[in-house]
């Protein structure tokens, strides 16, 4: 499990440093680097944030008040150049507190503390489910069993998804992309665009950041998904 992080700091150099540290830490995934608290709100509302790195001393809305204002409690590690804020930081149940300038050794110590916290809490809430090679989808008032291996790609369309199959006609069902994504094994399926999830076993041709299934079907690889898709290519494709 990778811990999805958002860092907030109004100092560009400090924010860049935290971003570099996040990239160096294998169990962290950078969702966004934000120059103020308001930028981070969109990611928090989308529910894609596990951990916040928040600078305390920021204009308009300081880090402590921002964290206190959140409707959903999110684990946080505070960063600041002023040691007197440490006690305040722990009063809002911060996982840790980093004093600037921050060395990677200090960052890694806090990162490991966060990982331990997530490991303990994730295991306590985890429901172990058997790995299935199929799923049931409700379409046209029927429950239809679909083999995962028969899925070519999945297309999002507002509140619906369209499941494109290898041999059968596409199935449309009322479901969000993030919900179907969580049901699919990430070993074989990858979201490559806001509107597309592909079966990696069916990817045969890539051209100009597009996955080509046939002469009529071109799946674009979105900007925010390029890095993960490239990692897949690096592991499996050889020139």
Q: How far apart are CA 85 and CA 62, in angstroms?
A: 11
Kindly state the average pLDDT of the residues 205-211: 89
HSE-up (13 A, CA, CB side) for residue 211? 25
Q: Which segment of 26-30, 54-58, 62-66, 151-155 scores lowest on mean pLDDT?
A: 62-66
Q: How far apart are CA 64 and CA 61, in angstroms?
A: 8
pLDDT at 142: 84
| Residue showing tokens 């674009």 | 220
Kindly state the average pLDDT of the residues 93-112: 91
C-alpha distances out from residue 104 to 28, 61, 98, 101, 184, Å: 14, 27, 11, 10, 35
Q: Which segment of 62-76, 83-97, 127-141 scores lowest on mean pLDDT?
A: 83-97
Last residue of a domain, one of 81, 96, 125: 125
pLDDT at 129 over 60: no
CATH of the domain at 154: 2.40.50.1020
Same domain, 57 and 97: yes
Last residue of a domain, one of 107, 125, 143: 125
- Total count of domains within the chain: 2
pLDDT at 184 over 80: yes
Q: Which segment of 74-88, 151-165, 167-181, 198-212 scores lowest on mean pLDDT?
A: 74-88
Cβ-in-10-Å burial (0-12, 13-18, 19+) of 225 comes to middle
pLDDT at 126: 40
To which H or E segment does residue 229 belong? helix 226-236
Same domain, 72 and 182: no
pLDDT at 236: 66
Instruction: Tell me the average pLDDT of the chain.
Output: 85
Q: How far apart are CA 101 and CA 85, in angstroms?
A: 15
Q: How far apart are CA 221 and CA 224, in angstroms?
A: 9
Same domain, 113 and 197: no
pLDDT at 234: 81
User: Domain range holding 148?
Assistant: 134-236
Token pair for residue 193?
């665009």
Sorted by sequence, the CB contacts under 8 Å of residue 194 that are 6+ apart come out as 156, 177, 222
Last residue of a domain, one of 125, 149, 165: 125
The confidence band for 190, taking pLDDT boundaries of 50, 70 and 90, is very high
pLDDT at 130: 47
pLDDT digits (tens, 9 = 90+) for 134-167: 888 888 888 888 999 999 999 998 889 999 999 8
DSSP lists the bridge partners of residue 8 as 34, 54
Contact 152, 213 (CB under 8 A): yes
């Amino acid at each position: 499990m990778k811990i999805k992080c958002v860092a907030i700091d109004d100092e560009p150099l400090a924010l860049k440093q935290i971003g570099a540290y996040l990239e160096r830490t294998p169990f962290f995934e950078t969702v966004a680097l934000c120059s103020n608290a308001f930028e981070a709100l969109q990611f928090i509302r989308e529910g894609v944030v596990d951990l916040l790195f928040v600078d305390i001393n920021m204009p308009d809305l300081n880090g402590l008040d921002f964290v206190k204002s959140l409707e959903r409690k999110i684990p946080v590690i505070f960063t600041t150049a002023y040691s007197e804020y440490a006690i305040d930081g722990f009063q809002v149940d911060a996982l840790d507190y980093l004093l600037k300038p921050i060395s990677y050794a200090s960052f890694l110590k806090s990162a490991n503390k966060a990982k331990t916290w997530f490991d303990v809490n994730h295991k306590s809430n985890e429901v172990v489910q058997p790995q299935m090679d199929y799923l049931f989808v409700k379409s046209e008032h029927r429950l239809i069993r679909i083999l995962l291996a028969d899925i070519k790609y999945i297309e999002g369309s507002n509140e619906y998804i369209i499941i494109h199959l290898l041999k059968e006609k596409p199935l449309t069902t009322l479901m969000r992309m993030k919900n179907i994504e969580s049901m699919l094994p990430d070993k074989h399926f990858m979201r490559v665009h806001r509107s597309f999830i592909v079966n990696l076993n069916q990817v045969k041709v890539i051209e100009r950041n597009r996955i080509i299934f046939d002469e009529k079907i071109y799946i674009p690889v979105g900007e925010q998904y390029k890095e993960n898709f490239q990692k897949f290519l690096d592991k499996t494709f050889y020139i």
